Structure 1
């Protein structure tokens, strides 16, 4: 998880393509795939940060 303040986005990156189950989980937390960034992204907001933290805990 990376907070990219210059883009105004929270980014999740993976070494390989995540499984369908992981992708579904990421989407359920409001993240979208960005081809431009090569990452799963969401705008930096209070809710976005809280969701990202919960998602990061689930992914570990």
Structure 2
């Protein structure tokens, strides 16, 4: 799977968009939160419950 780089979004926004595209493709629904690895080596996304400010939300059943 490829997601085009959008220079207007910056690095974090592009990583969020790629993770969202993957989650949609795999039909993973819920509230998604993004962050970095403890050693700074990459991005991590998790689907979690009722927490504020998700990186993105995919419609349907949350959780």
Shorter-chain TM-score: which interval? under 0.3
* Structure whose residues are more often helix by fraction: 1
The structure that has the greater radius of gyration is: 2
* TM-score of the two chains, using structure 1 as the length reference: 0.27
* TM-score of the two chains, using structure 2 as the length reference: 0.26
